[in-house]
């Protein structure tokens, strides 16, 4: 039987942070990670570059999350600038890019994982890998210990659960925490994939796969009423649409999209050009090139992969001379450039979701400490909580800040109790 002051379950972003700060604050800490290495998800964040945080104000940051009030104490204690200083202090330099997104200067997420692992070992954390927790024990309303799938039991005064959500399950985040907590009577709100590609009606041409469209304007209609508008970058995939503005939309309309509400997505491929300006541009192109055909005209306005898709939708002959287009045909092309439409049919699954929305009911967690209001000495941090945010470094900052707050609250309590 092994006894620790504090056990952290899950070695992701929140668990690495929690275990290191708990040990730094004087506790004897064990970190249990079910995979063969901690930080598997962290390693693939930001397309392998790890968008650590977003260097904005707390107020602005909170407009990108679902539960602003709950996060205030965690952010007041440790926010973006603190996180950057922390990484700098462990010899990881950072840089800030467009949209105030912060990355390691090396552009390598693995450096973040390695840096954190090295730091927690230096603080004296013991790491046990391939250690999947499958039972939590309580005594008189207090957490008392846990059992691994392989049978071994561990006991501690405090336990911090950082098992993440259910998205990208191959990284180890398979929703274990929800099951563990349900058996203790805690409420888990409905979980859904979020920041996930949106499926659209009809088969998308294979040649569009991975095509990114930058600086487009997206309007979203429900029953012909405009319900959302976004400007930025999107991407086509074989099975649907993705990219920053689509992922953000998937989070915003998460509930309705997952229950089959249909939305019309109208893409304006030329938001900077009015219909009149586009008409003038057509005229110029036609005057400049004598034998310009419709295909050639479209090539001047669209990425090559989209030209055939446009020709099919317009039902126009690619070889027709652009100078021979009548006003109606020109209008049809302009309309399609300004209103390239798709109808949504649903969301892709957890395998492709950047985050899980829903989770541990926040009414049952004290935001000042991250301690469960139902089970004393049990702390919860990271994505397993009913917290979610946009892309842009917001989700990792939530994991880091809540993990640190749980560690500091739990270890300060240990000190107060004279343990």
Ligand X SMILES: Cc1cc2nc3c(=O)[nH]c(=O)nc-3n(C[C@H](O)[C@H](O)[C@H](O)COP(=O)(O)OP(=O)(O)OC[C@H]3O[C@@H](n4cnc5c(N)ncnc54)[C@H](O)[C@@H]3O)c2cc1C
Binding-site ranges for ligand X (CB under 6 A): 9-15, 32-35, 38, 40-42, 44-46, 50-51, 132-133, 162-164, 167-168, 172-173, 176, 354-355, 382-383, 393-396, 399
- Separation between Cα atoms, residue 214 and residue 270, nearest integer Å: 10
Tokens matching residue 287: 């005057």
Separation of CA 268 from chain center: 25
β-bridge pairing 198-200 and 192-194 = unpaired
CB of residue 135 to ligand X, shortest distance in Å: 10
- Separation between Cα atoms, residue 266 and residue 386, nearest integer Å: 31
Residue with smaller CB distance to ligand X, 73 or 296 = 73
Residue with smaller CB distance to ligand X, 25 or 402 = 402
CB of residue 284 to ligand X, shortest distance in Å: 42
- Separation between Cα atoms, residue 116 and residue 87, nearest integer Å: 9
CB of residue 25 to ligand X, shortest distance in Å: 19
Q: DSSP of 293-305, one letter per residue?
A: BHHHHHHHHS-HH
Strands (E), 74-224: 94-97, 101-104, 126-128, 133-139, 142-148, 153-161, 192-194, 198-200, 212-222
Residue 217 contacts residue 229 (beta carbons within 8 Å) = yes
Residue with smaller CB distance to ligand X, 379 or 394 = 394
Tokens matching residue 125: 């954390």
Residue with smaller CB distance to ligand X, 97 or 312 = 97
CB of residue 418 to ligand X, shortest distance in Å: 30
CB of residue 300 to ligand X, shortest distance in Å: 35
Instruction: Identify the DSSP state of 87.
Output: H
Number of residue whose CB is nearest ligand X:
12
CB of residue 351 to ligand X, shortest distance in Å: 10
User: Which SS3 state, helix, strand or coil, does residue 74 take?
Assistant: helix
Residue with smaller CB distance to ligand X, 25 or 401 = 401
Residue with smaller CB distance to ligand X, 334 or 378 = 378
Helical ranges in 100-217 per DSSP H: 109-122, 176-182
CB of residue 52 to ligand X, shortest distance in Å: 7
Torsion over CA: 406, 87, 163, 352 (sign) = positive
First to last CA, the chain: 19
Residues in the chain: 419
Residue with smaller CB distance to ligand X, 79 or 282 = 79
Residue with smaller CB distance to ligand X, 28 or 34 = 34
β-bridge pairing 153-161 and 2-9 = parallel
Separation of CA 144 from chain center: 33
- Separation between Cα atoms, residue 131 and residue 159, nearest integer Å: 15
CB of residue 205 to ligand X, shortest distance in Å: 25
CB of residue 344 to ligand X, shortest distance in Å: 22
Residue with smaller CB distance to ligand X, 235 or 298 = 235
């Amino acid at each position: 039987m092994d006894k620790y002051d504090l056990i952290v379950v899950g070695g992701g972003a929140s668990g690495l942070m929690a275990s290191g700060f708990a040990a730094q604050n004087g506790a004897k800490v064990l970190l249990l990670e079910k995979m063969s290495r901690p930080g598997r998800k962290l390693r693939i964040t930001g397309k392998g570059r790890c968008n650590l945080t977003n260097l904005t104000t707390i107020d602005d940051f909170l407009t990108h999350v679902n539960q602003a009030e709950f996060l205030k104490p965690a952010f007041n204690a440790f926010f973006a600038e603190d996180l950057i200083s922390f990484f700098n202090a462990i010899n990881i330099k950072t840089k800030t890019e467009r949209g105030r997104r912060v990355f390691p200067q090396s552009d390598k997420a693995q450096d973040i994982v390695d840096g954190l692992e090295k730091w927690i070992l230096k603080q004296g954390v013991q790491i046990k890998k391939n250690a999947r927790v499958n039972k939590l024990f309580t005594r008189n309303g207090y957490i008392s210990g846990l059992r691994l799938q392989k049978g071994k039991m561990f006991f501690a005064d405090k336990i911090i659960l950082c098992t993440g959500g259910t998205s990208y399950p191959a990284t180890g985040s398979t929703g274990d925490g929800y099951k563990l907590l349900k058996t203790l009577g805690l409420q888990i709100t409905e979980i859904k994939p979020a920041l996930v590609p949106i499926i659209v009606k009809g088969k998308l041409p294979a040649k569009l796969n991975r095509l990114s469209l930058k600086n487009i304007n997206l309007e979203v209609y429900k029953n012909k009423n405009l319900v959302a508008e976004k400007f930025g970058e999107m991407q086509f995939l074989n099975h649907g649409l993705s990219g920053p503005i689509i992922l953000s939309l998937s989070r915003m309309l998460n509930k309705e999209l997952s229950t089959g509400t249909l939305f019309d997505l109208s893409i304006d491929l030329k938001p900077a050009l009015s219909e009149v300006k586009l008409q003038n541009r057509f005229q110029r192109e036609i005057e400049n090139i004598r034998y310009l055909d419709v295909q050639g005209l479209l090539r001047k306005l669209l990425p090559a992969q989209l030209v055939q898709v446009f020709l099919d939708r317009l039902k126009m002959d690619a070889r027709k001379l652009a100078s021979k287009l009548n006003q109606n045909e020109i209008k049809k092309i302009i309309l399609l450039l300004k209103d390239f439409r798709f109808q949504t049919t649903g969301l892709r699954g957890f395998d492709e979701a950047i985050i899980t929305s829903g989770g541990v009911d926040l009414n049952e967690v004290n935001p000042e400490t991250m301690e469960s209001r139902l089970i004393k000495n049990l702390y919860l941090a990271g994505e397993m909580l009913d917290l979610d945010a946009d892309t842009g470094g917001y989700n990792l900052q939530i994991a880091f800040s809540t993990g640190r707050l749980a560690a500091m609250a739990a270890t300060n309590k240990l000190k107060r109790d004279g343990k």
